[in-house]
A = this chain, B = another copy of it.
Amino acid sequence: MRPSARRPDQLRPLRFTPGFTTQAEGSVLAEFGETRVLCTASVEERVPPFLRGRAQGWITAEYGMLPRATGERTPREAGRGKQGGRTLEIQRLIGRSLRAAADLTQLGERTITLDCDVIQADGGTRTAAISGAWIALRIAIQGLVASGKLPQSPLKRQIAAVSVGVYAATPVLDLDYAEDSSAETDMNVVMTDAGGLIEVQGTAEAAPFSRVEMNAMLDLAAHGIEQIIAAQRAVFSE
């Protein structure tokens, strides 16, 4: 039995609220159960130094957690003077995943920054961030196309992400904090709407995992991502 009484293959209630804030070119509040991540997309008409003059754009991400998004207060990274290893690892993952969704040569010499800020954390913040960031990115790109700044969308794939794991010897989908903190294995999976794998990051927490378990987790991830993909689409068909 999962702490949340969900079935092993059951996602938490999923909600995307586009336009949650109004200043950014794209904005969405992504909620996976009690996990809430605000994703905004900011368009800037310049590229980082290493890309200047290369006739292409850039997509990057930053991740943050409000100090009291967690059960105990986490010291503010701005006050400590640096971003921790976990933060840097997560924002590198989000950025890579989003870049895999677009053709940067069709973006023009501009940068889109996806800021993913965790308002409340209950496990799976990085996968919620990726799933939400794709929506914010698409909203921003639609704006660029609508305003004539881009002739067509450089988005080439839809992507979404979910966490899976082995909890109490059972492969489960979309772990909340109670499961995540005592899971034997933890895996984050990013996939496209066509079922292609973009990122797989699996970690044995308590014991090594087998190829059989890995396959079961990947099956669960594919099953969950299919539903997240549908929920992302619903945002745009409304």
* A residues whose Cβ falls under 8 Å from a Cβ of B: 21-24, 27, 34, 36, 38, 40, 42, 44, 62, 64, 66-71, 73, 76-79, 81-89, 91-92, 96, 100, 113, 115, 117, 119-121, 157, 187, 191-192, 194, 196-204, 207-211, 214, 218
Contact = CB atoms under 8 A, between A and B. Distances in A.
Given A64-B78, A197-B209, A200-B200, 17 more contacts: A21-B119, A21-B120, A23-B121, A24-B73, A38-B119, A42-B68, A44-B73, A66-B117, A78-B83, A78-B87, A79-B83, A88-B88, A198-B204, A199-B202, A199-B204, A200-B201, A200-B202
Nearest to A122: B23
A197 B204 contact: yes
A18 to B, nearest CB: 14
The interface residues of chain A, by DSSP majority, are classed as mixed
Nearest to A87: B78
Contacts of A83: 78-79
A17 B197 CA distance: 38
B199 A203 contact: yes
B200 A208 contact: no
Contacts of A92: 85-86, 89
Contact of A197 (B62, B89, B210): B210
Contacts of A197: 202, 204, 208-211, 214
A209 B40 CA distance: 28
A20 B100 CA distance: 35
A38 B21 CA distance: 13
A23 B67 contact: no
Contact of A196 (B64, B117, B207): B207
A64 B74 CA distance: 14
Interface centre among A23, A67, A69, A218 (most CB of B within 10 A): A23
